[in-house]
Amino acid sequence: MTVPTVALNDQTSIPQLGFGVYQVPPDQTEATVSTAFEVGYRHIDTAQMYQNEAGVGAAIASSGIARDELYVTSKLNNSFHEPDAARRAFDETLERLGLDRVDLFLIHWPLPTQYGGDYVSTWRTLTEFVADGRATSVGVSNFQPAHLDRIIAETGVAPAVNQIEVHPYFTNEAARAASIRHGVEVEAWSPIAQGKVLDDAVIGEIAAAHGKTPSQVTLRWHIERGDIVFPKSMREERMRENFDIFDFALTEDQVAAISALDQGEAGRTGPNPDTFDWIPG
């Protein structure tokens, strides 16, 4: 099964399907990611705040997979937005992953009400990691249209991606459209809404018509909209199910029917990035 790639605005590319490790316990991360590698995943999405980068690194080290066949993303802890703290935190990410380079490093949250509202110098700091060759690409996560507009206007550098909550109950069209307008690829986090969309009647009907599962149909919907996804599962059979989405296609009407399930803000499962201000103690 060949996973398609998406071209980024910095002339690199990213596998459109990956494996997310949010809420994978640190002591189970090496085994879980090793199983994901066996299934065929080559793109791993972790973060400093998930506290499992070392497990991802251990799975990479024991995998025998060539470095250039892997795509590894991590994200800056909310505690480390100040430039010197971000530099130190990035050094530690590379150390924990056992890598001399990540493929992608993101500002995890904009935190517009923290750090004097200055996420611009944090963004400028991330661009240093591209300049020194230790990050192939850099980007942002949970950036609202105004946050994107501002970092691009003030630095002249557009992020490669914006990783935001997107699923059938929260299609997040304003943030998607702003990203696309700036040439920033959209990564859809919680692509199956942590399972909340899987009992939906519309999705179930479309799944039955294709002989596929609700999770496969939902992930396929993202792929056809052009977004990048990395569903998480601790179970091998679900990892296989979520990987097996490239042998069928939805009709335009089916894509539209799933998009119509959007509930606006009521469908959001995570925090609102405009007000989210959590800094780990």
Ligand X SMILES: NC(=O)c1ccc[n+]([C@@H]2O[C@H](COP(=O)([O-])OP(=O)(O)OC[C@H]3O[C@@H](n4cnc5c(N)ncnc54)[C@H](OP(=O)(O)O)[C@@H]3O)[C@@H](O)[C@H]2O)c1
Nearest residue (CB) to ligand X, 84 versus 268: 268
Q: With CB under 6 A, what is the number of residues at the site for ligand X? A: 27
Q: Whole-number minimum distance, CB 218 to ligand X, in Å? A: 9
Q: Cα separation of 21 and 31, whole Å?
A: 12
Site mask for ligand X (CB under 6 A), range 104-133, x = bound: ----x-------------------------
Q: Which is nearer to ligand X, 136 or 233 (CB)?
A: 233
Residues 66-95 that bind ligand X (CB under 6 A): none
Residue 106: which H helix or E strand, with range?
strand 102-107
- 48 interacts with ligand X by CB under 6 A: no
* 82 Cβ contact list (under 8 Å, min separation 6): 115, 121, 122
For residue 231, state whether it binds ligand X (rule: CB under 6 A). yes
Residue 167 dihedral angles phi and psi, to the nearest 5°: -160, 175
Q: Which two tokens stand for residue 60?
A: 């990479």
> Would you state the structure tokens that stand for residue 145, as one six-digit string?
């249209």
Q: Which residue is nearest to ligand X (CB)?
A: 20
Among residues 241, 243, 245, 258, the one that binds ligand X under rule CB under 6 A: 241
Nearer to ligand X (CB atom), residue 112 or residue 231: 231
- For residue 170, what is the DSSP state? B
Taking CB under 6 A as the criterion, the residue among 215, 220, 227, 254 binding ligand X is: 215
How far is C-alpha 184 from the chain's CA centre?
13
**What are the DSSP calls for 248-280, one per residue?**
----HHHHHHHHTT--GGGG--S--TTT-----
Structure tokens at 82: 């100040």
Contact status: 235 vs ligand X (CB under 6 A): yes
Binding test (CB under 6 A) with ligand X, winner from 140, 191, 203, 223: 191
Q: How far is the CB of 155 from ligand X (least distance, A)?
A: 21
Active-site pick, 50, 71, 119, 169: 50
Cβ proximity of 59 and 18 under 8 Å:
no
Residue 238 sits in the site that holds ligand X (CB under 6 A): yes
Q: What is the CA radius of gyration of the chain?
A: 18
Residue with Cβ nearer ligand X (99 or 140): 140
Site for ligand X in 193-212 (CB under 6 A): 193-195, 198
Q: According to CB under 6 A, which residues from 6 to 25 bind ligand X?
A: 20-22
Among 41, 169, 189, 243, binds ligand X (CB under 6 A): 189
Cα–Cα distance for residue pair 161/22, rounded to 1 Å: 18
Residue 232 to residue 210: CA distance in whole angstroms = 23
Whether 22 is catalytic = no
- Going by C-alpha positions, the residue among 133, 78, 75 that lies closest to residue 101 is 133
| β-bridge mates for residue 7, sequence order | 13
* Binding of ligand X by 163 (CB under 6 A): yes
- Residues assigned a catalytic role: 50
Binding site for ligand X (CB under 6 A): 20-22, 45, 108, 141-142, 163, 189-195, 198, 215, 230-235, 238, 241-242, 270
